[in-house]
Amino acid sequence: MASKLGTSNVVQIAKRSFAAQPAAKALFSPDLQSGTSYNKVKVVSVNESSPVARISVAFKAGARYETPDNLGITHVLRTAAGISTEEFTHFGIIRSVQQSGGSLYATVDREGIVYTIQAVRKEIGHIHKNLASIIGKTEFRPWEVSDLTSRLKYDRLTRPAQARLFDLLHSAAYRTGLGNSLFVPKYHLGAIGTETLKHYVNSNLTQATSVVVTSGLSLDDSKEFADSITFPSGGGNSVAAPAKFYGGELRKATAAPLTYVAIATESAAASAKEALAFAVLKYTLGAGPSTKRGVGAGPLSQAVAGVSGDQAAVSAFSVNYSDSGLFGFVLAGAPEKITPSLQAAIDVIKGASVNDAHVARGKALLKRAIAESFETLDATVESVARQAVATGVVKSLPDLLAEVDALSTSDVSAAAAKIKSGKVASAAFGAIQKLPYIDTLLK
């Protein structure tokens, strides 16, 4: 959903000088309760005792569902969250949410679009009807849709370099579907109108593609909210074409002072056991420094630092979708240092091997990252919604950590072997005048 991946969650044992040490407390884990509402919507309640109530409605309707005729429509929908519906005006929604001290927003990624509203518990009952109306009854009045164009232009102009790089990488890897950008293309600015928006909503934001995730509400109250939604009808459910990894190279020269490069191979779907093995491999190879002003502990960072000094930085990444995934690295650096840095990073990937110590470190870092995604209820709601959209299954923090512990060195070694033999997708952005084409470096 746009675009838009610390401290430990382990409760520390307090030692008292005047009493015996208390027993160790268990790992904090939000209580997850699942059910199905009367209108057949899957509902997950994260923690009904939270002082802040959140309601997120997620749909399998992200950028991969766009077609050539409506590319960028999910970016428009994200920006349009809160415009007039059949029941409320745009001003009325703003006033209601603000007077309740709440917030309303939408997020989009390649798999899903998520609408979220939050406020203190006693106020959520005053504004949850706004969210229900936005989902099923937004009118997309032509003048309001037209007014979105300036915001869409601003979003395009302020895209961070990494977001632009990942758009290019996905386009090189998948071309269409997962290769669609998270931002509306320039030629569609102002061209996506009322009927196109309504058709996309009717085809994709349906009961069958939805899941409701809440915190601060009981499971029964969450089901009651899900039943209050009048889901769009009339278009039928859209089904995304299966992802196909093609590989290739895309480059975009700009006036940026740095060069940004990303290289990836196909990894695994989010529901596959391999996905966690690739995640461990990411931390094994190096996903950035763990200390301030430090160099990453993995071989990627060390290799790049050895040839570039402090003029380049690298980080491995692993992203997983419902039927595919990407594993690779992102490199940013000064133009004069980018070629030796890139060659050093490629050599590390081509010669990647792991042992028990590497895997132990990678598993520890991955478990910390997973725990951080459950550290706050806000993050937990987002994590649960993403799980539901990408895999259709919601797992608790202890279950996820147990799956990481169950990984063996051979599992991670198999992932490392896969990235050496797969097709390659690459993207480059910024000051690329001195950057050689990737195929000349892979020999």
Per-residue pLDDT of the chain (443 residues), as tens digits, is 343 323 333 222 222 322 334 444 444 567 789 999 999 999 999 987 888 899 999 999 999 999 999 999 999 999 999 999 999 999 999 999 999 999 999 999 999 999 999 999 999 988 999 999 999 899 999 999 999 999 999 999 999 999 999 999 999 999 999 999 999 999 999 999 999 999 999 999 999 999 999 999 999 999 999 999 988 765 555 677 899 999 999 999 999 899 999 999 999 999 999 999 999 999 999 886 665 555 566 889 899 999 988 899 999 999 999 999 999 999 999 999 999 999 999 999 988 888 899 999 999 999 999 999 888 888 889 999 999 999 989 998 999 999 999 999 999 999 999 998 889 999 999 999 989 999 888 87
Could you tell me whether strands 113-120 and 103-108 are parallel, antiparallel, or unpaired per DSSP bridges? antiparallel
CA distance 256 to 103: 35
Q: Is 125 helix (H, G, I), strand (E, B) or coil?
A: helix
CA distance 330 to 203: 35
Residue bearing tokens 């763990």: 290
Q: Which of 290-322 are b and which e, b meaning 16 or more Cβ less than 10 Å from the residue's Cβ?
A: eeeeebbbbbbbebbbebbeebbbbbbbbbbbb
Give the domain 248-440 fold.
Answer: Cytochrome Bc1 Complex; Chain A, domain 1 (3.30.830)
Which CATH superfamily includes the segment(s) 33-228?
Answer: Metalloenzyme, LuxS/M16 peptidase-like (3.30.830.10)
pLDDT of residue 62: 95
Domain ranges of the chain: 33-228, 248-440
Contact between 282 and 318 under an 8 Å Cβ cutoff? The reply is: yes
255 three-class SS: coil
C-alpha dihedral (90, 93, 98, 104), degrees to nearest 10 = -100
Tokens of 94: 């703003």
Task: Give kind and range of the element (H or E) at residue 171.
Answer: helix 161-174
- pTM to 2 decimals? 0.89
CATH topology identical between 33-228 and 248-440? yes
Contacts of 196 by beta carbon, 8 Å cutoff, 6+ apart: 69, 70, 73
Check residue 351 and give its pLDDT: 86
- Tell me how many helices (H) and strands (E) the chain has: 15, 11
- The alpha carbon dihedral of 391, 397, 399, 403 has a sign of positive
DSSP 3-state assignment of 121? Answer: helix
Distances 269 to 277, 284, 391, 404 between C-alpha atoms, Å: 12, 20, 9, 16
List Cβ neighbours of 139 (8 Å cut-off, separation of 6 or more): 83, 84, 85, 86
SS3 label, residue 106: strand
What is the Cα 112 distance to its own chain's centre?
Answer: 9
Q: Select from 218, 251, 169, 128 the least CA-distant residue to 425.
A: 169
- CA-based nearest residue to 177, from 123, 233, 110, 124: 110
